[in-house]
């Protein structure tokens, strides 16, 4: 992969996850400041996940059908920017609901389209997914730390202007993304449904959805949960950042890990660590040192888990199905799973309290481990050379 191509793709990931690092840790706090209840916040935040069930598949189909991934990345980034501008006038539930639907329909599709673009470039170069993706992690870290202090100094309303600026930069960077050529593949004549109905594929998708269900609760409510236990926004930002710093470490080690361990083993270990992590988050919220330890586990519950999942999805959905495969993975795992976690979490927090809710979340990665252990049988048990190899 040329230096210019690697730079442009890495820069785009950095800014996209800069947006995520500003939005995920602090949007729930903004909605709380706007006097929305936990149940309301659960519904509003879950719109982002619910939109992933439908929207990425539409954009993924357009990208595969036209062969123009960059065109649709640019379109979704622009429409997401337009949708966000209306947030400045949204203060009641109905108007916030409409604005967040518009925002989520487009913004949720930018990532799977970008993933398919990167994977298409990697298929024809000697680049490494993990080396590009870790720049996204750095973007998340810088944003979550910076916004923690900015919102402490200038108030949570300053979050709106910061996110608007980041979305403008993101749209500008889409004009620097190079289009990728996708060569013909022997499976191009297969229907995507022939791939999707395979028991191994279903097991992977359901297992991923279970892991993301627990994370959906965390993404929507962890900052609120921490604030209720007396943590400042600055400390909340550092806790979020620690998880992503550890995620970077695991991405850098993924070539070594994937060369030595089967993909199924990586998935199962990651899921079981998820059981431990969410149990700790629920049981010891006032012990900072144990919370810090739980955050280091993000390296596995997201980092290694996501990397192995993307590799398995790429093995099944290749050729002209590549963008659709990433869209389906995002729709089922992050759409259905994330929405389930957000919706159930909002009502559970309101009626059961934060500690019991986060403790019960550990059930979902446990179910995911059982499903993956029983159903995922890979014809290519190890990662292919190229994507995660040295």
On whether residue 276 sits in a domain, the answer given is: yes
* CA-based torsion, 133, 135, 140, 141: positive or negative: positive
196: tokens are: 């999707």
Residue 262 phi, psi dihedral angles, 5° rounding: -70, 150
Query: Mean of the pLDDT values across residues 81-97?
Result: 89
Compute the distance between CA of residue 327 and CA of residue 164 in angstroms, rounded to an integer.
25
On whether residue 389 sits in a domain, the answer given is: no
Compute the distance between CA of residue 72 and CA of residue 378 in angstroms, rounded to an integer.
32
pLDDT single digits (tens) 61-72: 777 777 777 888
The structural domain count of the chain equals: 1
Compute the distance between CA of residue 116 and CA of residue 122 in angstroms, rounded to an integer.
10
On whether residue 28 sits in a domain, the answer given is: yes
pLDDT of residue 236: 94
Compute the distance between CA of residue 108 and CA of residue 174 in angstroms, rounded to an integer.
15
Query: Mean of the pLDDT values across residues 293-301?
Result: 96
On whether residue 54 sits in a domain, the answer given is: yes
pLDDT of residue 328: 82
For the chain, counts of helices (H) and of strands (E): 17, 0
Compute the distance between CA of residue 16 and CA of residue 142 in angstroms, rounded to an integer.
12
In Å, how far are 22, 139, 295 from 145, measured between CA atoms? 9, 10, 15
On whether residue 295 sits in a domain, the answer given is: yes
Compute the distance between CA of residue 323 and CA of residue 73 in angstroms, rounded to an integer.
12
3-state secondary structure of 183: coil
77 CB-near residues (< 8 Å, 6+ apart): 106, 107, 110, 167, 170, 171, 174
**CA atoms within 13 A of residue 60's CA, in its CB half-sphere:** 27
Residue 254: domain span: 3-375
Query: Mean of the pLDDT values across residues 30-48?
Result: 89
Assess contact for 305 and 297: CB atoms under 8 A. no
- Give percent above pLDDT 70 in the chain: 87
Count the Cβ atoms, other than its own, within 10 Å of residue 91. 11
Question: Domain of 367: which CATH number?
Answer: 1.20.1250.20
pLDDT over 70 (residue 182): no
pLDDT over 60 (residue 4): yes
On whether residue 280 sits in a domain, the answer given is: yes
323 confidence band (pLDDT: 50, 70, 90):
low
Assess contact for 85 and 164: CB atoms under 8 A. yes
272 CB-near residues (< 8 Å, 6+ apart): 365, 366, 369
Full-model pTM? 0.78
319: tokens are: 């050729």
Compute the distance between CA of residue 60 and CA of residue 58 in angstroms, rounded to an integer.
5
Compute the distance between CA of residue 237 and CA of residue 243 in angstroms, rounded to an integer.
10
Compute the distance between CA of residue 313 and CA of residue 306 in angstroms, rounded to an integer.
10
Query: Mean of the pLDDT values across residues 140-152?
Result: 91
Q: ∠ CA 357-107-278 to the nearest 5 degrees?
A: 20
On whether residue 386 sits in a domain, the answer given is: no
On whether residue 380 sits in a domain, the answer given is: no
pLDDT over 70 (residue 347): yes
54: tokens are: 């439908």
| Tokens 């292919």 sit on residue | 384
In Å, how far are 140, 175, 238, 327, 376 from 323, measured between CA atoms? 24, 20, 34, 6, 22
Compute the distance between CA of residue 214 and CA of residue 365 in angstroms, rounded to an integer.
7
363 confidence band (pLDDT: 50, 70, 90):
very high
């Amino acid at each position: 992969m040329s230096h210019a191509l690697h730079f442009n793709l890495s820069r785009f990931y950095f800014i996209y996850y800069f947006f995520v690092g500003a939005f995920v840790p602090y949007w729930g706090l903004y909605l709380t400041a706007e006097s929305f209840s936990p149940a309301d916040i659960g519904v509003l935040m879950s719109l982002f996940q619910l939109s992933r069930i439908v929207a990425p598949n539409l954009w993924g189909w357009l990208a595969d059908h036209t062969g123009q991934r960059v065109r649709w990345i640019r379109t979704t980034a622009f429409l997401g920017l337009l949708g966000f501008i209306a947030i400045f006038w949204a203060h009641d539930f109905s108007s916030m609901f409409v604005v967040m639907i518009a925002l989520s329909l487009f913004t949720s599709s930018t990532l799977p389209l970008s993933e398919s673009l990167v994977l298409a470039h990697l298929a024809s170069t000697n680049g490494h997914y993990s080396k590009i993706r870790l720049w996204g992690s750095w973007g998340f870290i810088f944003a979550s730390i910076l916004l923690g202090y900015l919102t402490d100094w200038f108030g949570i309303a300053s979050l709106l202007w910061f996110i608007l600026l980041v979305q403008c930069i993101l749209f500008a960077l889409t004009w620097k993304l190079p289009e990728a050529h996708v060569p013909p593949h022997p499976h191009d004549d297969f229907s995507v449904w022939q791939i999707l109905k395979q028991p191994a594929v279903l097991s992977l998708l359901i297992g991923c959805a279970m892991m993301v269900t627990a994370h959906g609760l965390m993404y929507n409510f962890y900052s609120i949960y921490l604030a209720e236990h007396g943590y400042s926004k600055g400390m909340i930002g550092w806790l979020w950042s620690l998880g992503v710093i550890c995620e970077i470490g695991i991405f850098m080690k993924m070539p070594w890990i994937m060369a030595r361990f089967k993909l199924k083993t990586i998935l199962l270990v990651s899921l079981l660590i998820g059981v431990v992590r969410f149990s700790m988050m629920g049981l010891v919220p006032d012990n900072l040192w144990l919370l810090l330890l739980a955050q280091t586990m993000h390296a596995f519950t997201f980092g290694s888990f996501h990397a192995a999942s993307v590799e398995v999805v790429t093995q099944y959905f290749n050729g002209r199905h590549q963008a659709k495969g990433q869209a389906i993975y995002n729709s089922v795992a992050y759409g259905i799973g994330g929405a389930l976690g957000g919706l159930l979490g909002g009502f559970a927090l309101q009626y059961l309290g934060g500690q019991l809710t986060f403790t019960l979340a550990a059930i979902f990665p446990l179910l995911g481990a059982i499903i993956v252990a029983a159903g995922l049988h890979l014809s290519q048990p190890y990662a292919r050379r190229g994507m995660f190899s040295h």
